[in-house]
């Protein structure tokens, strides 16, 4: 039997720009886990340039940068989330979780209409 899931997909718009959405949140989560934009891009099957542009868009949309590059050295540099980036990711994940909880009754009723 296939598992049924409800996946809310919110987008935070700042003018015409998408400041945050599912893909950007996934990128932030990966940067948090890996400390590397390059590794995160690989994990998410996107080019480094695409990942870099997504980070640049987010950094332009928020009052403070969400992710910053770290210069080289022994570890070769990388990228890390700022405190703002961590908070943005946390709040976005809370919004998704709250939406799933709030839709509980309707979601259960809808699942009954899906095939087994």
Mean pLDDT of the chain: 93
Would you kindly state where each structural domain of the chain is located, as residue ranges? Answer: 11-68+76-88
Q: Is the dihedral of CA 38, 41, 45, 50 positive or negative?
A: negative
Note the CATH architecture for domain 11-68+76-88. Orthogonal Bundle (1.10)
Task: Answer whether residue 2 shows pLDDT above 90.
Answer: no
Which tokens is 83 given? 């405190």
Residues 103, 106, 109: CA angle, nearest 5 degrees: 140
Average of pLDDT values for 10-28?
A: 97
Question: What are the tens digits of pLDDT across the range 34-91?
Answer: 999 999 999 999 999 999 999 999 999 999 999 999 887 555 679 999 999 999 999 9
The 8 Å CB, 24+ separation contacts for 74-78 are 78/34, 78/35, 78/36, 78/37
């Amino acid at each position: 039997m296939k598992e049924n899931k409800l996946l809310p997909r919110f987008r935070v718009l700042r003018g015409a720009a998408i400041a945050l959405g599912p893909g950007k949140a996934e990128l932030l989560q990966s940067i948090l886990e890996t400390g590397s934009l390059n590794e995160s891009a690989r994990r998410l099957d996107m080019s480094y340039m695409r990942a870099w542009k997504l980070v640049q868009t987010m950094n332009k949309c928020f009052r403070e940068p969400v992710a910053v590059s770290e210069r080289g050295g022994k570890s070769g540099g990388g990228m890390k989330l700022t405190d703002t980036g961590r908070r943005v990711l946390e709040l976005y994940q809370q919004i998704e979780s709250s939406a799933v909880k709030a839709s509980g009754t309707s979601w259960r009723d809808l699942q009954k209409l899906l095939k087994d």
